[in-house]
Amino acid sequence: MPAVCNHRTLQYTLLMPKAAFTRRPPPLPARFAMGVMIDGFMRPMVRVMDKFGRADRMFQGMRKRQIKQLAENNPFKGYIPTEHDVFVAVYIKSGTNWTMQIAHQLLTHGKSEYEHIHSVVPWPDTKLMGLLRGYAIPLEDDSVWRASPEQKRVIKTHFGWDDLPHSDKARYIFVIRDPKDVFVSSYFFFGNQFPLPSVDTWYKLFCAGDFMMFGSWAKSAAGYWAQRNRPNVLLLSFKAMKKDLPGTVRKMADFLEVKATEEDLRRVCEKSSFEYMKRIDDKFGVWKMVPWSTPTSMMRKGTQGGSSELLSPERQREMDLHFMAELKRLGSDLPYEEFCDLSPGIDDRTRRAGAA
């Protein structure tokens, strides 16, 4: 990697408008109305439907409507990516904010300060999320990449490969995380904001692929994996990222052709550590949509292999076998063990039997 400091780096702090984009949450009356709907109607309804074994059907119905909405109103429709775009496409609760932070800090040589990550990183997905419209800087706003010493900006999305705009000029960074950890992290995260069914029902939905607006983990992972050999694609393992942050930063810097000094890279590593990001958790947090609710922490644990919080050893093993079988059914040769910690008791014989 060239250890050359672009002169733009020294000007970044001065050039980057501190209020280039101002995030404005929905009006207080709208958030009160949302709170009344969630706590007064949706929460009791989910509880009752879950008691009678029908909550999964409700969430499956929501998923079908979301699929239709995405097909008709994909936020990326008509957008042509350019050489200034770096897509961070990550399945939900799989290290999205962490990867965005690394990429964004690399593109600013570790000197970026912001009011909120989405003051500088577009998230077009929010156009399909009702009151979250206006949550992030618009895709059409070019102020961030123009101020960047690398003349690039990060774009966040949870969409799968098939729903992204493709261009050989843009860069794409994908991350795959162990589905067992995704399951646990998602339950705690969404459970702090919305009424959720029981862990058993959540497990059923997650394995069935009817998972909120994010669909199947296996389909998402297989889609990202299939693009790994493209020269403008970098596929990362959350598991490997946790083991070697400095190595991850260097790998991403090489991929993005960042012209940075060793001091720049050290600064990026520092600002991308879990401890640092935990201290500025509010800069990644979601809006407080229900005024009387407890703020949701974005940086809960950030660990690999903590699924025992919600999953019994039997359930962990069952999930591993299920997703290995799903990947095989999809025709994917993704090496599951490379990205995931296999549950005790899974050997070659068990794996073949589960995938049959």
**Better-predicted residue by pLDDT, 194 or 103:** 103
Residue with tokens 């593109």: 107
Q: Is residue 3 part of a domain?
A: no
Residue with tokens 């899974």: 346
The dihedral sign for the CA sequence 294, 117, 217, 273: negative
Residue 266: Cβ within 10 Å count: 14
pLDDT, one tens digit per residue, over 261-299 is 999 999 999 999 999 999 999 899 887 777 777 767 666
- CA–CA gap between residue 181 and residue 100 (Å, rounded): 19
Share of the chain above pLDDT 90, in %: 58
- The CA–CA distances, whole Å, from 168 to 85, 171, 255, 258 equal 11, 8, 14, 18
Q: Is residue 9 part of a domain?
A: no
pLDDT of residue 352: 57
Which strands, in side-by-side order, build the sheet including 153-157? Answer: 153-157, 85-90, 171-176, 233-237
Averaged confidence pLDDT in the chain: 86
Q: What is the mean pLDDT of residues 322-345?
A: 94
pLDDT of 19 higher than 90 = no
Tell me phi and psi for residue 25, to 5 degrees. -65, 160
pLDDT of 15 higher than 60 = no
Residue with tokens 């020269």: 231
pLDDT of residue 144: 95
Q: Is residue 8 part of a domain?
A: no
Count of domains observed in the chain: 1
The two three-digit tokens of residue 139, written as one number: 């895709």
pLDDT, one tens digit per residue, over 232-262 is 999 999 999 999 999 999 999 999 999 989 9
Q: CATH code at 160? A: 3.40.50.300
β-partners of residue 87 are: 155, 172
pLDDT of residue 3: 39
- The CA–CA distances, whole Å, from 93 to 105, 183, 212, 304, 348 equal 20, 8, 13, 12, 29
pLDDT of residue 190: 80
- CA–CA gap between residue 128 and residue 73 (Å, rounded): 8
- Return the HEC string of 193-217: CCCCCCHHHHHHHHHHCCCCCCCCH
Q: Is residue 242 part of a domain?
A: yes
Q: What is the mean pLDDT of residues 300-326?
A: 86
Q: Is residue 60 part of a domain?
A: yes
Helix (H) or strand (E) holding 173: strand 171-176
> With left for phi above 0 and alpha for psi between -120 and 50, is residue 339 left, alpha or beta?
alpha
- CA–CA gap between residue 75 and residue 340 (Å, rounded): 31
Name the residue range of residue 316's domain: 27-355
- The CA–CA distances, whole Å, from 293 to 84, 190, 192, 241, 287 equal 38, 13, 8, 33, 11
Coil, helix or strand for 81? coil
- CA–CA gap between residue 282 and residue 214 (Å, rounded): 24
pLDDT, one tens digit per residue, over 35-48 is 888 888 888 888 88
Q: Is residue 20 part of a domain?
A: no
